Amino acid sequence: MTPRRITLLFLLVCLSLSSARLHPLDPLTPSEISSIRRIIKNSSLGSSKSLTFQYVGLDEPDKSEVFSWLSGHAAPPRRAFVIARSDRQTHEIYVDISKHSITSDKVYNGFGYPMLNIEEQVEASALPLKYDPFIESVKKRGEELKDVVCTTFSVGWFGEAKQGKRLLKILCFLTGNTVNFYARPLEGITVVVDLDAMEIVEYEDRFSVPVPKSVGTDYRASKQKPPFGPKTNKPGMVVQPEGKGFEIDGHTIRWANWAFHLGYDVRAGSIISLASIQENDNGAHRRVLYRGYVSELFVPYMDPSEEWYYKTFFDAGEFGFGLSMSSLEPMADCPTNAAFMDVYFANQDGKPFRIRNALCVFERYAGDASWRHTEIGIPNEVITEVRQEVSLIVRMVSTVGNYDYVIDWEFKTGGSIKLGVSLTGILEVRAAPFAHVDQITNDEHGTLIAENTIGVYHDHFITYYLDLDIDGSNNSFVKSKLKTVRVADGETPRKSYWTLIKETAKTEADARIEIGSESAELLVINPNKKTKLGNSIGYRLISNGATAASLLTDDDHPQIRASYSKKQVSLTGILEVRAAPFAHVDQITNDEHGTLIAENTIGVYHDHFITYYLDLDIDGSNNSFVKSKLKTVRVADGETPRKSYWTLIKETAKTEADARIEIGSESAELLVINPNKKTKLGNSIGYRLISNGATAASLLTDDDHPQIRASYSKKQVWLTAYNKSEKWAAGLYADEGRGDDNLAVWSQRYEAASH
């Protein structure tokens, strides 16, 4: 959100095209960016005094052109797509770089505006400092103008029917003797800038709140008084005595059994293309992912008040996830064994600039095993085999205002690709007149995190574009649903089992998935390719916990703009096997309760339910279990431009039944707190239980005997009072046990006792 203070190195030398053949998906080179600028400056637009470049990127060739080039045909022409502003109009310009010509220039007449560039944000941020009413407001607060810094915030859309102006809001903060100005907002002031006129068109100073002192919040190590956190005295480093295991050839990276193209874009940041994996037997590469990148980040805040309601950012589309890339610090952002890559974008004037070391690539070895087995079943022999887990990471960091997003693409030798997002940086806070939680009587839309400082509730929705091309471009989306089957009495001692029902999505609507809403595996398969045994070839989408759906009402304007955020998908050991008389899937006519994984071999469907005993004693033995539920609140019409927000409702479990939780059944945070201890500000002290994706409930029927023995496997969290004898979820005597002394039974016992 803020103009970044990184050094932008302008390329003064006009590089001639290097002799190396460009890959059709290579990002625009600095010399291409210069050519594009020349071509546009030489056109009729060139005479416009107000011409600015808002987006300059590769006009990606069609897939068919790329594949044709890969099979040895001529490269498609290098083309660029440019969004420029001139005389209050948005131009969509296509440029043929090789022909030095503009192929089309169309004025866009819709409601939206292009991405902001850095220069206009810097210019707009400086306006309040020369604006008399603002200077007055600073004085009135007893602060000095020299301590004030301002940054930019997109204004959003709140139902206005008419075409608006290209506006930006400016918020100001105090630095003084700290660089952590986000912790010191000048609350109550709204500055609106018309970007085309580059002037303040609206100004309001509604109220003032004490600026948080934010003592000790300067994060620079040099400003931290020792002791600074727990010491790890013996820092480690990654050493690869034989060198790096990957090779970078232009933008193509080859490592282990993977090959892919690493590009970038000013809006998306890093882009992975043409990821393919090498076959063991014949060395041929099989296609997996045609193109993948971060497509949007929606960040709505939950405070509907005048100064905060509009904070509903689209970090990629408004501020540029690529434009906000940070130079990575060797040995800190990326390990010692990393290779770095610079990126080049166009500035406001269309000239190329570089962000040094914006991407890094490295092999990760964290001392984990990817597969292991110890075999003691063969008399007089112990066989142990362990394989190292090594993967390849492509990393970028995008710093959008206060937040730093770390985006990882992780490639594993087993064939999987893992998308990693971590958020760090600084919280955006609101100044408020509270020094203790007890002073708060209304919903303050956040948590008192320091004196006079509220951390405002908000979400981050990160959306990926994934064009999977598994073994070819023709792919299907399949939901593999787990369905409980009840067995007819007497047929078997079992009463139930689960099996798989595969459903292929026929329309896009079939492929809008709310993760966790049903027991289903999400597969992308190639319907025209099969393994030798006749099984489908594809990839499974595995969510790793942090999925969420937006809680805003459907008619709230930020939600209309990000309506996609209601759904999450728009589209080790030795397996125990059973011998079976099949050599091909086509021979199977009944439910064989598994998958034909090799000739005459069925891998039987099964679950692993792992139950932990956790006796938390947070700051003492007396702890409570609290559900912190996220609840949508609808705003009365006219009160604020927003129609909804979410807030937290805290419920302390009174009985064991209150603390039986099905994770994902509601939007709730699970906390274990010490009710007798508080922070200085009056907040609870506790730990949060965070589930990391692989939670499940058993699908067996309640009266099936295995389920009676493991009746606790229907819920993921159980809370019981301390009882020394209650150690083993399945009871002390699990073998042949009957479920009369298990976790679920203990829970009921307490319930009976407490009523």
- Asked whether 100 and 114 are in contact (CB, 8 A), the reply is no
What is the C-alpha to C-alpha distance for residues 49 and 261, in angstroms, rounded to an integer?
A: 39
Pick the catalytic residue from 59, 196, 265, 315: 315
What is the C-alpha to C-alpha distance for residues 575 and 290, in angstroms, rounded to an integer?
A: 32
- Asked whether 398 and 429 are in contact (CB, 8 A), the reply is no
Give all strands (DSSP E) within 413-458, no chain letters: 417-425, 429-431, 446-450, 453-456
Structure-token pair, residue 703: 């009266």
Separate counts of helices (H) and strands (E) for the chain: 8, 39
What is the C-alpha to C-alpha distance for residues 431 and 452, in angstroms, rounded to an integer?
A: 5
What is the C-alpha to C-alpha distance for residues 485 and 422, in angstroms, rounded to an integer?
A: 40
List, in order, residues 6 or more apart from 281 with CB less than 8 Å away.
none
SS3 718: coil
Is 405 known to be catalytic?
no
CB atoms within 10 A of CB 379: 5
Nearest Cα neighbor of 118 from 284, 345, 298, 328 is 345
Amino acid at 563: S
Pick the catalytic residue from 403, 405, 457, 750: 403
List, in order, residues 6 or more apart from 651 with CB less than 8 Å away.
626, 627, 628, 629, 658
- Asked whether 565 and 646 are in contact (CB, 8 A), the reply is no
Please compute, for residue 476, the number of CA atoms within 13 A of its CA located in the half-sphere on the CB side.
14
Amino acid at 548: A
What is the C-alpha to C-alpha distance for residues 283 and 131, in angstroms, rounded to an integer?
A: 67
The CA-based dihedral angle spanning residues 612, 618, 620, 626, taken in that order and rounded to the nearest 10 degrees: -90
Is 264 known to be catalytic?
no
Alpha helices in 634-688 (DSSP H): none
Cis peptide before 227 (omega within 30 of 0): yes
Sign of CA dihedral 712, 718, 721, 722: positive
Sign of CA dihedral 401, 323, 168, 565: negative
Nearest Cα neighbor of 93 from 77, 114, 120, 121 is 114
List, in order, residues 6 or more apart from 331 with CB less than 8 Å away.
237
Amino acid at 390: V
Burial class (CB in 10 A: 0-12, 13-18, 19+), 62: exposed
Nearest Cα neighbor of 152 from 184, 180, 127, 188 is 127
User: What size, in residues, is the chain?
Assistant: 755
What is the C-alpha to C-alpha distance for residues 651 and 670, in angstroms, rounded to an integer?
A: 10
Helix (H) or strand (E) holding 79: strand 79-86
List, in order, residues 6 or more apart from 110 with CB less than 8 Å away.
none
What is the C-alpha to C-alpha distance for residues 85 and 89, in angstroms, rounded to an integer?
A: 6
- Asked whether 203 and 182 are in contact (CB, 8 A), the reply is no
Nearest Cα neighbor of 29 from 100, 84, 80 is 80
- Asked whether 171 and 150 are in contact (CB, 8 A), the reply is yes
- Asked whether 325 and 294 are in contact (CB, 8 A), the reply is no
SS3 694: coil
Cis peptide before 133 (omega within 30 of 0): no
The catalytic residue positions are 315, 403
